[in-house]
Amino acid sequence: MTRKDFDPGSVQPDGRAPAKRTLFTADGTTPWRGNVPGAELGGEVTVLTYGTDEIGAGPRLHVHPYDETFVVVAGRARFFVGDAVIEATEGEVVFGPKGLPHRFENIGPGRLQTVDIHHSPRWIQTDLD
């Protein structure tokens, strides 16, 4: 299916250069962990990666002043976002609206690996536990 959502002539480049940073080192044996602030790339989103082999492990309860989108790359997770509990498996995406406390945990079996998109040029977080 061909897409034509806008006229390319209506958008002008703003002078930012393409950029590249390392998010994680993929050695094949350890879970990915890392972050790249959008500000370092000249962009509006910060990208994190979180991985764990431990069942029940995950980031602590926290909140951001911006939205966050989680992509489950491998494994299975249970997300707690505000009052909602959402189970997700590889290939699924979970949205966390700004201001809602959230966390997630590996529910196994095996490794959980996520890519977390913070809708902000820098990572801003307040831990709640």
Model confidence at 63: pLDDT above 90: yes
In a domain, 36, yes or no: no
Closest by Cα among 112, 110, 67 to 92:
112
Range of the domain at 58: 48-129
Task: Give the integer Cα–Cα distance in Å for 95 and 42.
Answer: 23
Average pLDDT of the segment spanning 48-74: 98
Q: Which residue has the tokens 């509990």?
A: 85
When pLDDT is cut at 50, 70 and 90, the band that residue 1 belongs to is confident
In a domain, 18, yes or no: no
Model confidence at 51: pLDDT above 90: yes
Least confident among 13-17, 46-50, 67-71, 75-79: 13-17
Model confidence at 7: pLDDT above 90: yes
Count of the separate structural domains present in the chain: 1
Task: Give the integer Cα–Cα distance in Å for 10 and 121.
Answer: 25
Q: Which CATH number belongs to the domain containing residue 106 in this structure?
A: 2.60.120.10
